[in-house]
Amino acid sequence: MSSNTDFILAVEDLTVSFDGFKAVDSLNLYIDKQELRVIIGPNGAGKTTVLDLICGRTKATTGSIKFKNQELTKMAEHQIVRSGVGRKFQTPSIYDNLTVFENLEISFPRGRGVFSALAFRRTGDVIDRIHQVAEEIFLSEHLDQEAGLLSHGQKQWLEIGMLLMQDPELLMLDEPVAGMSTRERDQTAELLKRIAQNRSILIIEHDMEFVKKIAHKVTVLHLGKVLAEGTMDEVQNNEKVVEVYLGH
């Protein structure tokens, strides 16, 4: 386990117990560079907890999480962010009273906190990056709009954009299309496939139509363990998966 790997993320024998209940149970998970991986599974399977463990919000009971061969289980949340892991939560955490531009601006790694970031001179490279990201997240026309006035889907994209400002090598998203319209879902699929071209992405998602659009490899989690792993076709035709998840 001390050996180096080519995987961007290598999770080995990861376990977390909450009062004796193993929400994640001896989990192994390997993500390649530039891979887009989808995790599916029934409610309570431990999906969100896996992301909590990777981003350092929850501490592992045992096991190892290596990101670019760095052990994350020993690092604090902010160190993990700085090492290149971005995490999007289910509810967008954007600043409603700031414009789209300002939300992106404060997410640029040079600024720490809202006030220091706004006081920071708007240098050319920051502005270029904001425009580039705004284009990627379909919000170029909305840069001067207050974020609170965006649609639900646009708020989700803005939060993805705020993560992209930090240029993470691994981006993790928890149910990013929940509550989105069909058109917004299609656009999000397009967005994620595009941004996966130069980073690794780990997505938890329930919407199987959406998963089909984006998935290369799918991991099915059940009772904190990997129940199955493979292409969408393989997973959909797996008897155990149909029994515990897709059959319902």
> Does residue 168 bind ligand ADP (CB under 6 A)?
no
Q: How far apart are CA 209 and CA 192, in angstroms?
A: 15
User: Residues 7-46 vs Mg ion: string with x where CB under 5 A?
Assistant: ----------------------------------------
Out of Mg ion, ligand ADP, none, what residue 154 binds, judged by CB under 5 to 8 A for its kind, is: none
> Does residue 49 bind ligand ADP (CB under 6 A)?
yes
Out of Mg ion, ligand ADP, none, what residue 18 binds, judged by CB under 5 to 8 A for its kind, is: ligand ADP
> Does residue 48 bind ligand ADP (CB under 6 A)?
yes
Minimum distance from residue 225 beta carbon to Mg ion (Å): 16
The angle, 0 to 180 degrees and rounded to 10, between the axes of the packed helices 152-164 and 124-136 is: 140
Q: How far apart are CA 104 and CA 127, in angstroms?
A: 10
Out of ligand ADP, Mg ion, none, what residue 107 binds, judged by CB under 5 to 8 A for its kind, is: none
Minimum distance from residue 139 beta carbon to ligand ADP (Å): 28
Minimum distance from residue 175 beta carbon to Mg ion (Å): 7
Residues in region 8-27 near ligand ADP by CB under 6 A: 18, 23
Q: In this structure, what DSSP letter does residue 245 have?
A: I
Footprint of Mg ion (CB under 5 A): 47-48
Footprint of ligand ADP (CB under 6 A): 18, 23, 41, 43-49
